[in-house]
Every structure is written in C-alpha cells, then in structure tokens.
Structure 1
Amino acid sequence: MTSCLRFLQCAGFRFDSPFWDGPESWTKFRNQDLWQTFQAVLELCQSEKIEFLLLTGDLFEQEYVRKETVERVAISLAKLEGTRVFITPGRRDPLIISSAYRLTVWPSNVHIFSSGVTSVRIPSHNVTVYGAGWTAYHQERPFLDSFQPVNDGTLQLMLLHALVDSNRNTEGFIPIRHEQVSSSGLDYLALGSLEVWSGVQQAGKTNWADCGSLEARSFQDTGPHGVLLGEIQKDSSRFEFRELGQRCYIEKNFTIQSQSSIEGIAEKIIAETSLEERQKNLYRIKLSGNLLDVEELVQPLQNLLMTQFRFVTVLPLEERTQSQLEFSGLSRQKSMEGFPTLAKIFINKLQSRLVNADKSESSDYWEIVQKIGLTALGQGRTVDED
C-alpha cells in the first residue's frame, strides 16, 4: 500500500480539431506539435514513475475526430507501464451515442467516466478516484450536488471537466461553487475546462487546479501551457506545473509613420525577437496608421518577414481577425474553409431540398427532419446518455 500517490494531470488536446488561430497553412504544423506534446506526456509518465494519469476533458474534437486517431491514442496509452489512466469526457468530446470513445476498445489500464459521479477504489494505492463525464453538449445539473465521499481512510481524488465560481462566459457550464469544493472532503480535485493554467487553489482542506490545455490555439491564449505533476498523501501535497507547449502565439502592434520604410519596420520587429523565438513561435504583426500606407505595406512586409520568421502573418490593425471570429464562442457553429461541420452539411442539404420541394411537401415536415437530424449529430443534445 503506497503512502504517496504520484499523478500527472492534463487536458484539452482536442485531437483532429481544425481550429488553430492563424493562416490555414499553420494547421499541419500545429497538429504535428500536438502529437509531439502527447508523446512528451507519455515519456514524462515513464521517467517520473507516474502512477495515475488524469485526463480531464476535451481529449478529442468530437465533430472532426477520426477512428484512426482514437485508436492511435488508445494504443499509446496501453504502452504505459505501471500507469493507470483516468479520463473524463468533456464538452468537446462528450460520451454521446456517436462518441469518439466508442470507436475503439480501450486497454485495461484506462478507465473512462460516464454520467453522474462514480468511483473506482484501488486498494493497492489506498485511493478512491471519483469522476463524472459529460454525456451531452450542455451540462444539465451541477456535478457536486449531494456528493458525499466515502470516509474509508483512502486518498480521495476527483476528475471533472468543470469551472469553479467563474465570472467568465459559462454558457453550457454550471460552475461548481467554492463552498461545494470546501465541503467535498476531497484531497484533490482535478479540473480541465480552461485554456490556461489556473495555479493550485485551495478550498477548505481540498486542493484543486485546472491545468489548462496542452497547446495554445489562439493569440488570446497567452498563459503557460503544460501539465501538472503532483504528489499527494493524507498530511501533505506537492505540485509542480511543467510547461510542455511547443510554441507560443505572440501578437505585436506597430504604428506606421508616413516616412516609414518596409526595411525599417522589419528591422524594428526583428530587433525585438531572438533567432530562436523567430523559428519557434507564431507571430501576428498588426499595423496601424494611415489606412492607405498600411494597406500598401502589408503584403511587402509579409514577404520580407517570411524570410526571417518561420510563422508570421501581417494584418491591418483594424481588420477583424480570424481569432476574433473563431474564438468568440461561436466556433462550434462556424465552418472553416475545407472543414465544414456535419451539421452544416446537413442543413445545406435540407435548404436545397426545401428550394426544390413541391407544394405537397410541407415546411413543418422538414422542420421535424431537421430536429431529428441535428439531434442524431449531437448538436445541442441535452439528454444524458450512459
């Protein structure tokens, strides 16, 4: 029976998601970065002798995930020697009928939580692991309502894809109240719904943290990205956040003067960065000033900087950026070029049918067809599924 439990917590991989901020040409490289980070997590589990790997939501992007991706993840997790894996499906990969988690047979060292808070007791480690997965795209009830841990002397851990007393936009989420965490009796609560690291927090005697997503996806994700390493025992705990993100998104604003030259602007931008940073990170240069001057300089400056930066895009400051469009809470409804959602394809087909429908086909009939179709595709599903 172990007296100290070593765990690694991470979330937000979103495998197969096409949503990466910046030019479409960056997507391929960012997907490669994501797999490299995943491999780094597995290697860290082995080198640090991690006993529990806690994956707290959004492992996949449900609307785009491929069967071969799910199988690759499952095979990789099966190779972890001495590490048990606990997964709680999140908002982007809920355990619905067509869930990514149903596309493969998971290895014996992996446990996936479903609806409602359930527990797994592991006597060899003197620990009880609680968890609840999302089984719909909208959370219907609070996770910790009426929760009572079993007071059997074991370490008490819980995994949730949830927020704690958040003032941010919580559409689809029902936040956990601070007092619920405090009265839960848990030794540690592992969360995973934020984009960036929350830091280790404490409510009563319960430590909790949201490790954020493994890789930054937008120019708004300016905080650190990585994993949380933890050691827990009944009378003490130790935590270490370790950055693993492959690249940072960096935005710089420059004002164009009438006498400014392209070469002078480029030199100023380059002077503010190192060669290592220019080859590693993703940059967006936003120009302001006289509109005509800015428009004339955007493309020439882009061409010049591309010889010095591996990833760079130049935009007028006034232009509505891809980030503002994609990450304003509407990304689930938005279709990227080359990546139409199944729901979008379905709706377009219906609209085409309505245009060509004869008088005998009523609009009421096609409204019912649309509701059934969107439910089957998991859009807006609010019914819990075991």
Structure 2
Amino acid sequence: MASKVRFLQCSGCRFDSPFWDGPDTWIPYRNQDLWKTFEAVLSLCQSENIDLLFLMGNLFEQEYTRKPTVERVANSLGSLTKTRVFIVPGEKDPLVISSPYRLTVWPNNVHIFSSGINNINLQNKVTVYGSGWTAFQQNKSFLSKGFRADVDTTSIMLLHSEVGNDEKSNFLTLEQIGASELTYLALGHQENYSGIQKTGRTFWADSGVIETRSFTSSGPHGVIIGEIEEGSIRLEFRELGQRQYISKSFDLPSDIQSLETKLLAETSSEERQRNLYRVTFSKSLPEEDLDFNSLQKILSEKFRYIQVIDPQEETHSPLELDHSRPVRAIHEECDFMTLSQVYLQKISDYQLAATSSEDQKQWELVKKIGLAALEQGRIDDEN
C-alpha cells in the first residue's frame, strides 16, 4: 500500500471570462476576486504540504483567454516546487488546436491529460488516472468501455464529468463508478460542492467552482483537501470563495421599512459589503403597488450591491441568458469581440449587400462552414 499522499481538488476558474452576474462595474473586482482565490489555492498547497494538485476542468474560457493569462497561471503552478499538478481540460477549455493550453510551455511539475484514459504512476505506489475533453462536445461517458483500477495501488482518477443516467452524454453511472475499484474519483463539472459520496469501495466528490459567478450558484465555494494513507481516506471541504451571490425571497411587505428592517436583521454589515444580493417576492402585488424603485434606492444605501426584482416584470440576469446563447450573440455585452464574432459581422455585411436569393443562400452556407471551422465543431442553436 502507498505511503500517505495529500491532494487538493478544485475547478471552474474560467480565467478571462467576462461573465459575472451583477453590474459591469463589478467585473474588474470579480476578476481580482478570482485571482485572490487562485492564489489562496497555491498558498494552501504550500501550507498544507499538498503532494498533488488537481485542476478539474474549465481553468480557462476558450473564447476569451489571453496568452499573458495562461503564462501567469503556468508560472504560478511552476512555483509549487513540492507539488505535482494534474489538469483535465473541460468543456470550456478543451484540448483542441486553438486551446489555451497550447499558448505556453508548461513547467515540468504540470501534466495535462488528453483524450482516452491515461495514467501516471508515482513513486509511492500512487497511480493518477485521467482523461480530458478534446472537443466541445462529449457524447459518451468516459467510463463507457468499462474500467478497473489496479487495486494494489492507491488509485485516483480525474474526470471533468458528473453522475447521471443519460447514456448519450458525458455522465457517469453509479454502476461504472462502483466497478472502477478506484480509491478516489475526483470530479469537476458542477457549480456547487457535491458532498463526499461513496459507491462500492470508491469515494468520489465534485468540489464545485472555486468562485461563483451567478445567483444560480449560491452557497459556499472552495476546494477539497484529501489525505489517503494505509487504506483510509479523509476528505474535507474548505471554503475559499471571496463573495457569495445570495437570493432572498419574501412575501410582499406592507411597507418598505419593514422589509428593510428584516433584511438588515438577517445580514451583517460585513456581509452587506462583501456579497451580492437579489430580493424576490413570492406573492402577487396588492391593489396598491409597492414602489420598487424607491425600495431599490433605499436598500442600495445599505448594501454594496442589491437587486430588487419586481414580480410583475420578467427579469433574467445577463449570465443566466449566457448559458443558452452562442458566444457570438453576446458581443455587445463585452468589451471586445472574439474572432467568430468578427467573422459573423463581416458575413452579415456581405449578406446585406447581396442582390439575389442565390447569393443570400451562398453567404449563409459560407457563414455556417466558417463558424464550424472557427469554433472547432461546436454545436450551435440555429433557431
């Protein structure tokens, strides 16, 4: 059996992504928050004597990643002289031709998993298995062909996936996990921490993203710290996120003052300055409507960021809309355009100048072929 091994597991940094719930003025602050959290991960590796660091996918945001960002991440990981780093690319940063992972030379202590399940055998009888995304679509389970680990070693597997029953997706089944005979299965795909699970002899968990980006992913965010020794395994979730997105729902109050009093009683001054809040209401409006603009103004004097939702208005956050739209459709919300967006704009100009229906069809075909090439086969909603 292997000697003691300590590891840290985290996922979902999405460096350079412009998508954060909240006002545009908060984007620079949230980007700073992300770097602080990442630096906290590196500090934990040193203070907790971490042998293995697992970065479980979506380290970058493919369409927006800049070369200096990749170099900064690589240099930071290279500073961990006593920690080996294992990365599995995910659906937002797959290992394609234009992958961010190809923008720099990675230090010797970093290993990036590619397609197919591969393994690295470490000196203390620890085997690390893993498989990364090499396309924007993963239509079958990483364990669909069956897998059984070497039971004579401490076996750890890294996958950017989650547990489910859809056979045509990247989901893993409990049966596949139980049959794997792994000591520990590290997952990275969910927004929130999954809790520590066990199937058969295999412990497994998803750490969730280290820094939340929206009101749809509330609660604490951080990392998993694990220790395996002589057949025993200890796992701990450690909160690291700089801020939380907190939604609060109330019955419509009889007056603004009562709601303000209730909100202040439920939150500390520190929380009101650090976190982002959204207030919703569970009942329909009375005959005399509440003045939501006045309510927003009053609460904004107490909270650094708070959004009051009028129940009569259909409201979505920009980030929630982002999940259902191709990236080229949102360039107006960002400070810069991707290559795909520039290409689409140019083709649209040609289509407007076309004088016949045949020319229109030709440019439409050119648009689809070009976008497919630029986005490496990403499936877009054409409706």
Question: Is TM-score (shorter-chain normalized) higher than 0.5?
Answer: yes
Label 1:253 to 1:336 Cα distance change in 2 as closer, same or farther (>3 A). farther
Q: Distance in 2 between matches of 1:302 and 1:360?
A: 51
Structure 1 position 191 matched with structure 2 position 190: no
Alpha-carbon shift at residue 324 of structure 1 (Å): 7.8
8 Å CA contact 1:343–1:377 kept in 2: the answer is yes
Q: Distance in 1 between matches of 2:20 and 2:311?
A: 20
Matches within 5 A, 1:189-338: 189-256=185-252, 260=255, 262-286=256-280, 289-290=285-286, 293-294=289-290, 297-323=291-317, 326=320, 329-333=323-327, 334-335=329-330, 337-338=332-333
Label 1:200 to 1:256 Cα distance change in 2 as closer, same or farther (>3 A). closer
Label 1:286 to 1:23 Cα distance change in 2 as closer, same or farther (>3 A). farther
Alpha-carbon shift at residue 157 of structure 1 (Å): 1.1
- Cα deviations across residues 344-370 of structure 1 (Å, max 9, x unaligned)? 443232222111024496344323322
Match of 1:356 among 343, 353, 356: 353
- Alignment gaps of 5+ in structure 1: none
| Aligned counterpart, 1:45 | 45
Q: Distance in 1 between matches of 2:288 and 2:169?
A: 45
8 Å CA contact 1:115–1:132 kept in 2: the answer is yes
Q: Distance in 1 between matches of 2:149 and 2:36?
A: 39
| Aligned counterpart, 1:378 | 375
Q: Distance in 1 between matches of 2:355 and 2:120?
A: 57
Q: Distance in 2 between matches of 1:327 and 1:202?
A: 35
Q: Secondary structure at the match of 1:316?
A: coil
Return the letter of the residue paired with 1:71: E
Give the number of the structure with larger relative contact order, counting CA–CA contacts within 8 Å between residues 6 or more apart: 1
8 Å CA contact 2:322–2:330 kept in 1: the answer is no
Q: Secondary structure at the match of 1:285?
A: strand
Label 1:268 to 1:208 Cα distance change in 2 as closer, same or farther (>3 A). closer
Q: Distance in 2 between matches of 1:59 and 1:132?
A: 15
Q: Distance in 1 between matches of 2:40 and 2:321?
A: 27
Q: Secondary structure at the match of 1:279?
A: helix
Structure 1 position 128 matched with structure 2 position 120: no
8 Å CA contact 2:20–2:214 kept in 1: the answer is yes
Q: Distance in 1 between matches of 2:221 and 2:165?
A: 20
Q: Distance in 2 between matches of 1:354 and 1:292?
A: 51
| Aligned counterpart, 1:159 | 158
Return the letter of the residue paired with 1:187: T
8 Å CA contact 1:13–1:34 kept in 2: the answer is yes
8 Å CA contact 1:139–1:174 kept in 2: the answer is yes
Q: Identify the range of structure 1 (199-208 vs 313-322) with the bigger mean alpha-carbon deviation.
A: 313-322
Q: Distance in 2 between matches of 1:175 and 1:291?
A: 49
TM-score normalised over the length of structure 1: 0.88
Alpha-carbon shift at residue 246 of structure 1 (Å): 1.1
Q: Distance in 2 between matches of 1:327 and 1:237?
A: 40
Q: Secondary structure at the match of 1:318?
A: coil
Return the letter of the residue paired with 2:17: S
| Aligned counterpart, 1:343 | 340
Alpha-carbon shift at residue 219 of structure 1 (Å): 1.2
Alpha-carbon shift at residue 184 of structure 1 (Å): 1.1
Structure 1 position 9 matched with structure 2 position 27: no
- Alignment gaps of 5+ in structure 2: none
| Aligned counterpart, 1:18 | 18
Alpha-carbon shift at residue 180 of structure 1 (Å): 0.9
**Root mean square deviation of aligned Cα:** 2.6
